[in-house]
């Protein structure tokens, strides 16, 4: 019997590539899209494969319920769930507006929790089913200017670890995938910067430099996101996947440093990063016409 997986956030990036990779590996793929009308690229990339697009905004109870009903009626159970849907948000925490923070958590935390919870009866129907939580290296260490995003991923890490223990009672494996920088739309089309970030704000001496440093680092180290889709399929098919699966640029190193380096040293490193950002911002202002 073919194995069945639901993947959320399949319009682009990790979700789109994982839908293709899983289908090529023989899985029946339910591909969730926040807006079903954006399925053109998904259908093009997965033509000839058993990929079934779903209208699935994970923050919508009606969308979640409809997805559960469809999978139950068509397949009777679920072998895998990939919680990939998520958002990013840049900006110093003081400048992030409350509605922006709530919206971020609504997707990255509450929507993911609700989607997983709704599908647990179907996951219990299949022995050794797997839930993959797409976290981030930002769920291990929080960088200045990405505090809101890191907070949501730290929450996801705690949720995933607790579910790892609880759902093992039913033979369900839970894995936290922690990618580093990969070349996806999260750094371009899907980039979100808090509207509270303004050139004249109190963080202006650092903002431009932080953004330039971030973009330069991503451009230098970002890798092909196909690595992530391949890893997700490997996790889904692994007999005993680990709780945490760091992947990509600096991912393992950041985890090791988080536990081995005293906090005063890591804080000193971050302060030097901010000082470099301040000098970069000042140089940009001096060059302005």
263 is catalytic: no
Catalytic residue (one of 30, 149, 182, 245): 149
Q: How far apart are CA 33 and CA 212, in angstroms?
A: 32
Q: How far apart are CA 139 and CA 161, in angstroms?
A: 12
Q: Position of tokens 């970069």?
A: 280
Catalytic residue (one of 12, 129, 135, 251): 135
**Residue 149 in 3-state DSSP?**
helix
Phi (first) and psi of residue 193, to 5 degrees? -115, 135
Q: Indicate left, alpha or beta for 283 from its phi (over 0: left) and psi (-120 to 50: alpha).
A: alpha
Between the alpha carbon of residue 45 and those of residues 24, 78, 140, 229, the distances in Å are 11, 23, 33, 14
Q: Which H/E stretch holds residue 188?
A: none
Q: Which H/E stretch holds residue 14?
A: helix 13-24
Q: Position of tokens 């923050």?
A: 59
Phi (first) and psi of residue 237, to 5 degrees? -100, 0
200 is catalytic: no
Q: How far apart are CA 71 and CA 119, in angstroms?
A: 9
Query: Considering Cα of 170, then 120, then 9, then 76, what sign does the dihedral take?
Result: positive
153 is catalytic: yes
Catalytic residue (one of 153, 207, 251, 281): 153
Angle at 17 between CA 14 and CA 193, to 5 degrees: 30
Catalytic residues: 135, 149, 153
């Amino acid at each position: 019997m073919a194995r069945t997986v639901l993947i959320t956030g399949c319009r682009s990036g990790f979700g789109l590539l994982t839908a293709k990779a899983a289908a090529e590996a023989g899985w029946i793929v339910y591909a969730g899209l926040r807006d079903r009308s954006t399925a053109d690229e998904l259908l093009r990339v997965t033509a000839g494969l058993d990929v079934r697009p779903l209208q699935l905004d994970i923050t919508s109870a009606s969308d979640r319920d409809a997805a559960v009903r469809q999978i139950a009626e068509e397949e009777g159970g679920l072998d895998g769930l990939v919680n990939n849907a998520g958002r990013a948000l840049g900006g110093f925490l003081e400048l992030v507006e409350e509605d922006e923070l709530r919206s971020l958590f609504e997707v990255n935390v509450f929507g993911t929790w609700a989607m997983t919870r709704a599908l647990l009866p179907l996951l219990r129907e299949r022995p050794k089913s797997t839930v993959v939580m797409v976290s981030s290296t930002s769920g291990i260490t929080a960088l200045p200017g990405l505090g809101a995003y890191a907070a949501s991923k730290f929450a996801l890490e705690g949720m995933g670890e607790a579910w790892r223990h609880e759902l093992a009672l039913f033979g369900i494996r839970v894995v936290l995938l922690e990618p580093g920088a990969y070349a996806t739309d999260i750094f371009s089309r899907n980039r979100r910067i808090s509207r509270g970030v303004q050139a004249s704000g109190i963080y202006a001496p650092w903002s431009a430099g932080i953004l330039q440093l971030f973009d330069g680092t991503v451009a230098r180290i970002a890798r092909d996101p196909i690595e992530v889709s391949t890893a997700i399929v490997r996790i889904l098919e692994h007999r005993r996947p680990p709780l945490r699966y760091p992947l990509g640029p600096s991912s393992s190193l950041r985890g090791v440093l988080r536990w081995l380096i005293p906090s005063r040293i890591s804080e000193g490193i971050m302060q030097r990063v901010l000082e470099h950002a301040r000098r970069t911002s000042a140089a940009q202002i001096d060059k302005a016409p």
